[in-house]
Amino acid sequence: MRDFREIITVEPGKRSGKPCIRGLRITVADVLGYLAGGMSPQDILEDFPDLTEEDIRACLQFAAEREQSGRIRSSGDSSRPIG
């Protein structure tokens, strides 16, 4: 599998600079939300034919990296890391 940094892109003018998948308008947060909401990867791929299984894995890798680096923020304070 490719490094997730080759798949996840950030463009200031697209989706308010949120991390997206391969320059598409689908954000990492969108995919993670679908998974958390109970959609299977196959469900997501059926609803978003531009995505691949590798894209979904890249979103999970991205989230894991952020969590390990301590860059997750609490909902009430966007300036202070959790933990």
> What is the fold of 4-69?
Arc Repressor Mutant, subunit A (1.10.10)
Q: What is the pLDDT of residues 29-77, one digit of tens each?
A: 999 999 999 999 999 999 999 999 999 999 999 999 998 887 655 445 4
Domain coordinates in residue numbering, the chain: 4-69
pLDDT in the model for residue 80? 44
Nearest CA to 62 out of 50, 54, 23 is that of: 54
31, burial (CB in 10 Å: exposed 0-12, middle 13-18, buried 19+): buried
pTM, rounded to two decimals: 0.80
